[in-house]
Structure 1
Amino acid sequence: MSTLYALLVGIDRYRSPAVPDLRGCRTDIDDALAYLQSRTAPGVDLDALVLSDGQATRAAVIGALRSHLGRARSADTALFWFSGHGSQAPAPRWWYAEPSHLVQTLVCADSRHGGVPDLLDKELSILLDDVARRAGHVAVVLDSCHSAGATRELEDREPGARARAVEPMPAPPARELLPELTGGEPASPPAPEHVVLAASRSHEAAQEMDLGGRRRGLFSWALLRALGRLGPTATYRDLLIAAQAEVERNAYRQVPQLVPPGRGIADRPFLGGRLAPPPSGLVLRYARDGWEVNAGSCHGLPPAPDATAGAVRVAVVGGPPAREAEVVQLLAERSLVEPVGWRPEPDRQYRVVLSRVPLPATTVAVGGVDQDRATAAALLAALGTAGPDGGPSPHLRPVDPAGTETVPELRVRTPSPGVVRVEDQHGVRLTGDLTGVVGGGARRAVRALEHIARWRQLRDLTNPVTGLAGAVAVEVVAARPGETIAPLTRPPVEADADGVVRLRYEPGPAGWVPPTVFVRLHNRSDRRLFCVLLDLTERFRAHANLFPGDYVALGGRTAALRGRRVVASLPAGSVVEPGRRARDWLKLVVAEEQFSAEPFEMPALDDPRGAARGPLAVQGFLGRAVQHRDLVASAEDGAYDWATVTVPLVIEVPGPGD
């Protein structure tokens, strides 16, 4: 037997009036605890201590690190998870290790009140090193800012988010710090490494925002979603890459970090392998509160986005007709459900899979300060009547461009009469100028916005409670000169620190030569699985030409384009010159049974066929008996499980110094 000792600290309320309160930290900790409780492996005891708000004083946190995590021994794992404000403090003494002459700090509930300092990273390292000398494995998750420098810029650009950062504190007097820190270099022997998953780089701010219907820390939410998708065998490096992709889609200049980044402990399974999926996957059973499913918000299960989109549903694995249950109450660790049109047996448990995921309408801010009001009004009027029955667009939800509660996913600028310019939430342009946005032109602009919204939903599509997490890998393999068929076992190109696979042009006698690669699919599971590989391009096209769909044998590999080379070039018409780059996303959809790739296909935004619309909700893998599904199975054997894998690619022409 072994024990997973967890110390979970979440602070929304602070004693000092100089430290603003937060709203999502206790939710982070509740979700993390629920996840640990539902995923602790057999033979592992969970001993969790939660300190929230006023309980999480500096003295209490230090004491819990010593007394609670300090109980871990060689067979045990210790986890410290902190959600709250982070900051900095002057560090002239450690000038040799801190080029900025600043150390990072965790702001405890009573920090900066009555002379109590923050908890310095140097102090935290001493405490964790002491734990690591006795424990078998030590992990840390920090969802806090490590700098106040970028806070103002972040809040200006993302008004619906709050940075978990406060101003640096003055240098604390030595008498207020740990004796081990002020008495010279520690005399203790070097400690084994511990691994840290941090929300941001040392000069960045970490964000909290409304996610999945509740206020949450963006990094905690992204990390728990990654754990749900990738499963208990995922390494820290795997989780970092997946979490970075989620954070990148929602925040500007927040890049989660892994410490240490090199090979070693970072490539071990999360928490040293002390987590496991439920033995039977998703299970529907009758309990004290009625029918329930063993997955909740901590596993990434989303709430219904609004009253019109419908609720999340699960379906029983087995023959038709499809037997579904609808989520009526989403809890942290489980969900209460009601069967839809059938009566389960109360003394029986049913294996179920996710069958319906209502996707929220994409939020869009139109116009704003110094923008043309008449053009913004015309576009908003068109959005209000773009639905199938003359109602509002089902794909887009307008929000106030000056609002403080919601971060818009798309921003529409109206710089001059009749002109519209679409940007993402970070201000990056997604389209050229759309002109003639009056009358029918406004409708054309709405169709373009809906196309972008549906493409983004497809790019971000995931099944948070799948039993197929990590079952099939997408491997991008560099092609060697003269090679025409994909090699079976050559190692793939490694993603860089932010999870992106970078492919570079090479100089040649006649100019720049685009990179060529092979794309393999590796089924690492113990059963055959049906796969479709999509290519999503910057021009908002989605196609399945690489691998339109087939079964991949258990434990086997196959290749896109029947093993032929894939030329990774810039889009047609682009000037190939140093510094130019393009992005693609390889999106793998995996299922237990065959399904059609056709519903995923989308033309480029500038293609006339781009006006076609698809359904709002992702529903399917249920068989032909269920109509109007976005993901429609060609088999008729009832519900089955599905999963997705996303590999971001950057194709670039090296610039000077690269």
Structure 2
Amino acid sequence: MSAPSDIEDHSTQKDVLNSIHNRIAELQRWKIRSGTTGPDEQVCRLCIDSVTFVNRLARLYALLIGVDKYASESIRDLVGAVADAEKVQAFLRAQTPPISGERLELLTNEQATASKIIHRIRRLRTNESIRRGDPILIYYAGHGSMIPKPDGWPSAESHMQCLSPHDARVSGRTVEGVVLDVTFGALLQALAKEKGNNITVILDCCHSGSGTREDDRVPRGLEFKTEDGETDLTVDVSYQKDIWDSDDAARGLFLLPQFANSGLQSHIVLSACGPTQSAFENSRTHEGHFTSAFLRTIEESGMGTTMTYSELMDRLETKPLPWQTPQCEGRDKDTRLLFDKGVVQRNRPCYSIFRDGLTYTLDAGEVHGVSKDASFAVYANRHAFTSGGPSFGELVVDKAHPVTSSLLPVEGLVWSLPEDVSDAVAVMTRAGSRSAFRVHIDTGKYPKLHVAVEALAKEVCEPTNRDYSWISLAITSKEEAQVSLELTADDTDVVFEILDEQIRALGLQRLNGTVPCDESSLRSALRSAAHFFYHLRSSPQEVNLGLAVSARVRVLRKSVELQSGIPMPVYLPVGDSTCVQNDKVFYPEMPRHRRGRGMHRTLYAVDVFNKSPKGGYSLFAWMFYFDCSTLEISSYYEPPTGDVKPPLPAAMEHAIPLNFGDAGARPLTFSLPAGQSIDVGFIRIFVSTHNSDLSGIAQKSVIEQCRAAVTENPSDWTYQPEMWGAVTIPVVQR
């Protein structure tokens, strides 16, 4: 009598596990029949295989929703929403290892009614295959809407957002068949209570019904109307109240900003556009612009990169989405890796790790981009990781040193590295509390650039300016770096190639000059570069006050005003203003010669307006210009020091000037540097509820003076302020 043969290959999780369990049962029955005693190595191995297989599979669970067909004849059907949901499904199944079919739910058209969507989200709470802490993805493509809040609802906003799935409709003069933002938020909070704060929401829809169809562009938003054309329709006063007003829902949920719910820790929200914009799909290619750009960005970047959600949004900014600005909200957007631990990424860097008493030492530190609170999964060896094997457990960085780090087990999870494991490696699964300025240095191609490596390492160990030592520096691959260093033909100077995708997309690829190839010059230049990109890309961890202000650029002309009968020169804005915000690029006029009148330069003014209503926050403002050709940061406006009132009060009636009129600052004028056909910079307006000294942000040019040119950085701004935000305006001179 011979033992049963080994199991065959199967493609799905259920088939493999069933085969393993059936195989174990057969072996046990064979042992009984044959009278064999003692432990069976084959049974033990299959038991291990069963556990290993489950651990190998990606833990992400996805609920994907796509709606093209609408039950109401008055609602325009879509053509690409279902295809988008199916593309996301195909993308997840194509990962290595794939997300199994049992962990992918797809609802389309008639399956995707408001009640069925709510039921499926609720069902996730009791799904035993979803462990606490497993990543959960909820994707929706279809129509969205903005409706007035019903009378008597305790909302801080006059309108509310909603998903408008298959059965969205107007019944009489009441909206029905929608999923309200507060309902959605309550469902997510209840889900997070059971399964943990590891939820990602992607919404490829809009909440503005004002979008109009143009050529191939079809908006994914609708406005509810009665047959006689009446608008401003809303839901019944008790609509879905059993969900958002239940004991499970958070008190004060209505005070949260619509679908963003950025004050909650439970989830990250990626949305196709801003709250007043339209999200479009292409009627010819049958795909949503946002979903297409989102998937293309991930595929181009590679799932192997340790990309956070904020870094994903930076890369999305380079994609052609001229009519919509993707949004990302959530308290962990700057530190959570894409899909967190849901899609296991097998080509990320591995670092050696060993046990040192009660702690663990990692052979990677600040120079590698490691920072406090970063999480690492530990594997037996490099092969165990790359082949999809299970990890022993997770560790968290307690302290990052220049080239090593001290780690501790995650609180509440007890495990230890086996003593017989000598080749253990660790892989980052979550970014830490601060990100590093990433530099690529190819010493293979440029051997003399070893001096740059030494300069960077010394700058990490002993910063030239300790006030900025919290801005870490790291050597990374070119794909992940923000700048790359090269040598000039005579090997005497260093060229800084800009790899920041937004700056390159605007047309600038390197600094306008070189840095001497010596340790002192490179240390100060790298520190200044880190300072430049940190303040250019910095964003608040919680509430972004940049959404509370609007900014305009206006042309100025010289004029004369009488002050006490005395003529005084003044600058006055003329013509229409250019409304510029994060999603628009400002192209100033270049100086030009006028016959007999010399060089004419156009002067520009910037003014800002606090959109907060009465009872909102009054704000202070600062304005800087970030010159990407030289890494110079110039200050153009700052509020008075001392105990002064905020210059941007809530419920203000008129915008205030930042660099003309009563502001007393100088107007902006632009010209291309010698030898350049294009120049790129950013006007950055910081706003805060507190008056702080931000003079430390300004710095001199790296090119003109290759030495540290930063002043003392104020501690009350270096670390997280009570509240702040920023408006960023790209400027391209050509």
Q: Give TM-score scaled by structure 2 length.
A: 0.44
For CA contacts below 8 A with separation 6 or more, give which structure has more relative contact order.
1
Rg larger in structure: 2
Q: Give TM-score scaled by structure 1 length.
A: 0.48
